């Protein structure tokens, strides 16, 4: 597990140090550097996948596209270098990258210093990794297949964390893979295979829904049907395009959590997208249970329902032993130093009974401000 990330001179991060645990929640207004933390990890992974990490940093494709060196470098850096450090256990892995010329239009930054030791053992570089971006693929009539990525590397995205391989993944692994943690088994479904458990958790979003991944030789499709109340029959099947966006947007998240193993690293952007508030809270509680069972999750959100769902899971753990121990949660709230255009982060304490400690300005306070105005306070 990655226990700390240090970022220096990357985009708006002049020097940022973040302590991590199993569930790491990044909040803050738009444009303050939350996604850049994820990008620091994605740059390392895509450079590793291209077998160039020991030579330098590849700024573009497949996981993220930064542009050129000038786009990657912190504008007011005193020295022209970018540094990423990861702490895991007793090991500290640091990569430093430095342009060799004044030409900052290049898309590859040569390495200046690389870590000792087997950094390849980090789950960031293993098959136990998923990235699901805010740009997850909208419902489609047809999804791509990729035998190597899905069936060998167990990946759910080809590029930019779109989750476009989820139907292929669910078709191939749905009956081959069982959910490894009893806490993640939905109480309404005794069968532990990935497909049945995914369906059970999707029913928290849309009651009585059924999911069918369909192989079409060179592509895959998703079809949904709905059980009728008090009846074993179901409706006709509908293409994903003809069912609510939320089902398709949440599907890669649910599958990645249920298919995860201990110390798997999962990066999720905006899990709340297109979901009803109740569904957001339920998804947050599933995320919390997965983290409690050893997955490491980095999550960016703008939703107070996601935050509250996590806090509910924390309180439930105190009362019932189900949910997540508050010691396994880190809330990082990001702001921007306007003078230096640099990212600043504050860690928010989680107290007993799902209560939060001192909260900085703009930490999900808009509802209170609006309500105060409406009530005339």
DSSP secondary structure string for all residues of 306-343 = HHHHHHHHHHHHHHHS-S--GGGEEEEEEEEETTTTEE
* Residue 99: inside a domain: yes
| Residues 22 and 141 grouped into a single domain | no
Domain boundary among 238, 261, 284: 261
pLDDT of residue 375 exceeding 90, the answer is no
Is there a contact between 266 and 129 (Cβ–Cβ < 8 Å)?
yes
For 232, the token pair is: 């074993």
* Residue 80: inside a domain: yes
Is there a contact between 37 and 16 (Cβ–Cβ < 8 Å)?
yes
DSSP string for residues in 258-282: HH--TT-EEEEE-TTTT--HHHHHH
| Residues 254 and 323 grouped into a single domain | no
| Residues 142 and 120 grouped into a single domain | no
| Residues 53 and 153 grouped into a single domain | no
DSSP state of 136: P
Q: Residues 45-93: pLDDT tens digits?
A: 999 999 999 999 999 999 999 999 999 999 999 999 999 999 999 999 9
Is there a contact between 110 and 99 (Cβ–Cβ < 8 Å)?
yes
Q: CA-to-CA distance for 25 and 297, rounded, in angstroms?
A: 8
Dihedral pair phi/psi, residue 341, rounded to 5°: 45, 55
Which letter, b or e, does each residue of 126-141 get, where b requires 16 or more Cβ atoms within 10 Å of its Cβ?
Answer: bebbbbbbeebbebbe
What is the domain count for the chain?
2
| Residues 317 and 251 grouped into a single domain | no
Domain boundary among 261, 283, 314: 261
Give the residue-averaged pLDDT of 148-173: 98
| Residues 1 and 114 grouped into a single domain | yes
* Residue 342: inside a domain: yes
* Residue 278: inside a domain: no
pLDDT of residue 372 exceeding 80, the answer is no
Give the residue-averaged pLDDT of 125-151: 97
* Residue 281: inside a domain: no
Q: What number of other Cβ atoms are within 10 A of residue 18's Cβ?
A: 20
| Residues 250 and 367 grouped into a single domain | no
Percentage of residues of the chain with pLDDT beyond 70 = 100
For 73, the token pair is: 């470098």
Q: Residues 17-48: pLDDT tens digits?
A: 999 999 999 999 999 999 999 999 999 999 99
Q: What pTM, to 2 d.p., does this model score?
A: 0.96
| pLDDT computed for residue 373 by the predictor | 78
| pLDDT computed for residue 364 by the predictor | 78
CA 234, 235, 241, 243 dihedral sign is negative
Is there a contact between 109 and 98 (Cβ–Cβ < 8 Å)?
yes
* Residue 279: inside a domain: no
Q: Residues 275-292: pLDDT tens digits?
A: 999 999 999 999 999 999
Is there a contact between 17 and 4 (Cβ–Cβ < 8 Å)?
yes
* Residue 287: inside a domain: no
| Residues 1 and 105 grouped into a single domain | yes
| Residues 116 and 196 grouped into a single domain | no
| Residues 117 and 188 grouped into a single domain | no
Q: Which residue's entry shows tokens 């990657």?
A: 72
* Residue 282: inside a domain: no
| Residues 251 and 347 grouped into a single domain | no
Give the residue-averaged pLDDT of 248-274: 98
| Residues 183 and 256 grouped into a single domain | yes
Q: Residues 297-341: pLDDT tens digits?
A: 999 999 999 999 999 999 999 999 999 999 999 999 999 999 999
Alpha-helix runs per DSSP H in the chain = 34-49, 69-72, 147, 166-173, 194-202, 245-259, 277-292, 304-320, 366-374
Question: Domain of 249?
Answer: 137-261
| pLDDT computed for residue 349 by the predictor | 96
């Amino acid at each position: 597990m990655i226990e700390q990330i240090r970022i220096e001179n990357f985009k708006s991060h002049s020097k940022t140090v973040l302590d991590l645990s199993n569930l790491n929640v990044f909040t803050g207004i738009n444009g303050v550097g939350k996604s850049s933390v994820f990008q620091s990890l994605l740059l390392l992974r895509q450079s590793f996948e291209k077998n160039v990490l020991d030579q330098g940093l590849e700024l573009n494709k497949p996981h993220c596209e930064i542009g050129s060196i000038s786009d990657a470098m912190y504008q007011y850096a005193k020295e022209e270098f970018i540094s990423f450090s990861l702490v895991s256990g007793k090991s500290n892995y640091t990569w430093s990258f430095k342009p060799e010329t004044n030409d900052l239009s290049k898309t590859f930054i040569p390495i200046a210093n690389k870590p000792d030791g087997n950094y390849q053992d980090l789950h960031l570089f293993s098959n136990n990794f998923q990235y699901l971006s805010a740009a997850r693929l909208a419902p489609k009539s047809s999804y791509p297949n990729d035998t190597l990525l899905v069936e060998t590397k167990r990946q759910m995205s080809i590029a930019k964390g779109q989750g476009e391989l989820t139907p292929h993944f669910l078709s191939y692994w749905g009956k081959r893979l069982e959910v490894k943690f009893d806490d993640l088994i939905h109480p309404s479904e005794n069968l532990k295979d990935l497909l049945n458990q995914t369906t059970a958790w999707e029913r928290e979003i849309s009651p009585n829904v059924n999911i069918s991944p369909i192989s079409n030789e060179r592509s895959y499709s998703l079809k949904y049907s709905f059980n009728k109340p008090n009846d074993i029959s179901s409706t006709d099947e509908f293409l994903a395009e003809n069912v609510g966006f939320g089902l398709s947007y949440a599907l890669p998240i649910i599958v990645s959590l249920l298919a995860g193993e201990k110390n798997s690293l999962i990066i999720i952007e905006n899990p709340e997208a297109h979901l009803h508030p109740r569904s957001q809270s339920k998804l947050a509680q599933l995320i919390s249970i997965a983290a409690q069972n050893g997955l490491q999750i980095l999550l960016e959100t703008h939703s107070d329902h996601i935050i509250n769902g996590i806090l509910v899971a924390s309180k439930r753990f105190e009362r019932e032993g189900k949910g997540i121990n508050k010691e396994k949660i880190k809330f990082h709230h990001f702001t921007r130093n306007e003078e230096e255009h640099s990212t600043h982060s504050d860690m928010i304490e989680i107290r007993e009974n799902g209560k939060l400690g001192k909260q900085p300005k703009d930490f999900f306070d808009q509802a209170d401000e609006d309500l105060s105005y409406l009530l005339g306070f």
